[in-house]
Amino acid sequence: MEAIILAGGFGTRLRPFTFTRAKSLLPIINEPMIAHLIKTLPKKVDTVILAVNYRREQIEEYFCKHDFGKTIIVNEEPEPLGTGGAVKFADKHIVGSFFVLNADIICSLNLAEMLRFHEKKKAVATISLWPVENVSEFGVVDIRKDGTITKFVEKPKAEDAPSDLINAGAYLLEPQVLNYIEPGKLISMEKQIFPQIIQNTGRFFGYKFQGHWMDVGRISSYISVHKLLLEKQKKTFITGDQCTIQGILRQSCAGNRVSVGKNTTVESSVLFDEVTIGENVTLDHCVIGEHVSIGDGSVLRNVAVGDNERVQDGTVLDNVVVWNQPIPQGYPSKQIGNVIGE
């Protein structure tokens, strides 16, 4: 059985860290985001097809060095093709039922149970569903008691919403779905393909799950997912190998070979590998990239510091992105130094 993992985007809202790495390789609790996802796949899934575009070489290198007990196929798209186009581009590798998963979603969905539900319902397509409080911000599903989805309703008023359930980004599809997708086009599964399957087959189902669900698309959610997973593990902080921690870490994660000086407080922050934090420093809701040094007496709140940057002693920063290097060629042009929560 196959799983297609969509990992082709630039991750512009996670800049400056995606200036230097593929979004799916961003560390979460000191392990690439995509590794967390692959570890949730049922044993029945023996082949993983990675739909990639930006920084393909990094992704290939990672999977050459790490074995997950599955065949990994790096399927480079000639250009971004959207969810539908990426799925169609992988069709030569599909032999039966297959998952389609977003690399940037961390959640408690049990994919093996979703597979059993799909097979029991003899579904053509099954999508994961997650409840939300404010339905007017999302597209919600109109769903019957047996799990059949009859339509999607985009951003309804609360009183008009048929449910509080949104598409949570994990799909289980039969090969016939590929026939709906025109090759080589930028196509949205959600807007262009799913409504056709609903209309033509009546075998389009939703699988509800509980626990946690987080789209790691912004710096703020990147920090939040660390805090959530630390809480799940009942830990106040995590450090990698060969760290020297003389200060205090709370709700924070430090990578390998990280040094934190005396009288320094790191709160709700993520430190990548090879980071050096001086003495008497305060970090609050920050992400600090690889090979970064933060000088003594600095105070950083809601700050993202890109790889290889140097922050001088006594620097005070609030709500900014630190990046003083060239932007990689071909990376979408975005203003540098804007609000971290964007």
- Assess contact for 39 and 68: CB atoms under 8 A: yes
* d(C-alpha 189, C-alpha 228), whole Å: 30
H-only helix segments in the chain = 17-20, 33-38, 56-65, 82-89, 111-121, 194-201, 219-232
Token reading at 171: 């799909």
Catalytic residue among 44, 92, 120, 155: 155
DSSP assigned state of 181: S
Token reading at 213: 């669900």
Active site residue 122: no
Provide φ and ψ at 4, rounded to 5°.
-95, 125
* d(C-alpha 80, C-alpha 165), whole Å: 28
Cis amide linkage into residue 32, ω under 30° from 0: no
DSSP assigned state of 83: H
Q: Name which of 257, 280, 282, 284 is nearest 270 in CA terms.
A: 284
- Alpha carbons within 13 angstroms on the beta-carbon side of residue 116 total 6
3 state SS of 15: coil
What residues have CB less than 8 Å from 13, skipping those under 6 apart? Answer: 217, 218, 219, 342
* d(C-alpha 23, C-alpha 56), whole Å: 11
Residues labelled as active-site residues:
155
